Copies of this chain bind each other. A is one copy, B any other.
Amino acid sequence: MLVEFGGTRVLCTASVTEGVPRWRKGSGLGWVTAEYAMLPRATNTRSDRESVRGKIGGRTHEISRLIGRSLRACVDLKALGENSIVLDCDVLQADGGTRTASITGAYVALYDAVSWLAARKSLAGKPEKVMHRSVAAVSVGIVAGEPLLDLCYVEDVAAEVDMNVVCTGDGDFVEVQGTGEDGVFSRAQLDALLDVASLGCLELAEAQRKALAS
């Protein structure tokens, strides 16, 4: 599925394999992992392909791991049974918030994949047990002293503090990553950012519900 947030467009797909990697065989548990990448011209200036450079950069690694962790948080791996799901998030166009858009979109792709497995009677548990929570993510930041939701690229560069927040549909936190890009931040600022982020995630959860219902 293609996710669009402002000028950011991410292609999120879920690929199912029956069976799990060797080190997990016989555990009765499934496996969910994610790979994130940017097309070379997703940004305004072309960046080199990681395949050409022969190695994956630190930023790509970090985001792939974040997406994987976030999505595993909404899956009951026991109920999934010994099935593997790879989530691919390929950024076609980037204008800020590519990692949070990837998580939000990957959730929908994952849900579809689990439904497909359910239809094939390949799950160990019931589908609603496998997907017992929804997850969505937003980027928030402090720009010119004000907390702001969904930073585009220009705002992101200008942000004093930059935070990615992953929440469940019930308003709990899955992951909180805040960085003082240009300076530091007080507890009060942190609290304000968390408030904005929680609300933003709840709105996305609602949008996800609608998308899956249609």
Contacts and interface: CB of A to CB of B under 8 A. Distances in A.
B168 A173 contact: no
Contact of A176 (B39, B52, B178): B178
Given A179-B175, A190-B194, A184 B46 contact: no
Contact of A133 (B41, B59, B184): B184
Contact of A178 (B46, B88, B173, B183): B173
Interface stretch (A61-69, A97-105, A121-129, A143-151): A61-69
Contacts of A90: 39
Contact of A184 (B17, B92, B173): B173
Contact of A177 (B17, B58, B177, B194): B177
Contacts of A22: none
Contacts of A168: 184
> Counting chain B CB atoms within 10 Å of each CB, which of A59, A177, A186 scores highest?
A177
A172 B186 contact: yes
A56 B58 CA distance: 9
Interface in A47-102: 49-52, 54-62, 64-65, 69, 73, 86, 88, 90, 92
A185 interface: yes
A40 interface: yes
A184 B136 CA distance: 13
Given A52-B35, A58-B65, A61-B61, A173 B194 contact: no
A35 B50 CA distance: 12
B186 A180 contact: no
